[in-house]
Amino acid sequence: MLQPLLFHGPCKPTTITIELKGIIIAPRVVEDWNFRQNKNNTWIKFSRINGLVIIGGGKVDGQGSDWWTKYPKKSNENNKPTAVRFYNCHNLTLNNLTHIDSPRNHISIDDCKDTSVSNLNITAPKDSPNTDGIDIASSTNVLINNSTMETGDDCIAINNGSSFINISGIFCGPGHGISVGSLGKNKQYAAVEHIHVKNCTFNGTSNGARIKTFMGGSGYARNITYEDIIVVGVKHPVIIDQYYNPRYIDNIEQTVKVSDVTYLNIRGTSLGKNAIELNCDTTIGCTNIVLDNVNITRVDGGEAQTMCTKAQGKRSSCHPDVPCLSQNSSTIRY
């Protein structure tokens, strides 16, 4: 049983390799966790360690069930620890690891540059609260590929300050999809750009390709592409939601600007009636939204529908049709 632990750099070696061959297990009961004073938000933290490589085929078990029982609501999220956090670690590599049952999100990548994540298996029950697979914030040049994520929240969440994030070969489900956001909470400024999600499968998730922002924030989410995506029984396969939490709507005159978003080669089935939802702010709207070669049908055989509010852009070979976007008779050029 491993108590909360901090690895703090900088370190003299240019590369540090950790081979995890066995199982690291967290305390089972909340009361058995011994946090350092005012440091109760992380189980294992790596800070300012450049050239860190973690490999080996081992397992990290957060034993989160007692945390989920004691803090089941979204409002309790900050009371629970992240399992593994990387802060200000450049040239980071994670490969061939299993992460299960974190009290909160399994992996956080914060303020990191040049990160490679591959061949991970992240698992938590679908009803476990806030158990994101990987959360990214204030980081650039992050590559995540060839991994399986089954969680109770976002498989991957791309948050404020992130740019040049490339995600491919992810099997997600159950979970809440691969999300940009949420952005702009508590009227904060947000900046996310150059995000590419490709060759991913969403199976039985509540969302697939999702962008979510709070009203009242500012900044932008732009140059985002979801490409070669398969959705299987997904409740909201394609969704932009600028009203992520309706409690924040009253007397709000600004929001995060969403623009230059492309959905290319999206196919599969929707569990809900709306296969495509572009729920943009009614004042500034979303601009340059492109849907090209999209074919989503309903699981129950009914007619798939769309919902569109204040979205501007183009569509080509799109089913269900999105009439709020201009129609292109030929392939859209990028």
Looking at the annotation, which residues are catalytic? 176
Exposure on the CB side of residue 296, measured as CA atoms within 13 A: 37
Transcribe 236-278 into DSSP letters.
EEEEEES-SSGGG-TT---B-EEEEEEEEEEEEEESSSEEEEE
Preceding amide of 10 cis, omega within 30: yes
Evaluate whether 197 touches 169 at the Cβ level (below 8 Å): no
**Residue 230 half-sphere exposure toward CB, CA atoms < 13 A:** 11
H or E segment to which residue 301 belongs: none
Structure tokens at 75: 């409002």
Burial of residue 55 (CB within 10 Å: 0-12, 13-18, 19+) is middle
Tokens for 34, please give them. 């011994």
The distance of Cα 98 from the centroid of its chain, to the nearest Å, equals 18
3-class SS of residue 201: strand
Q: Which residues partner with 135 through β-bridges? A: 108, 157
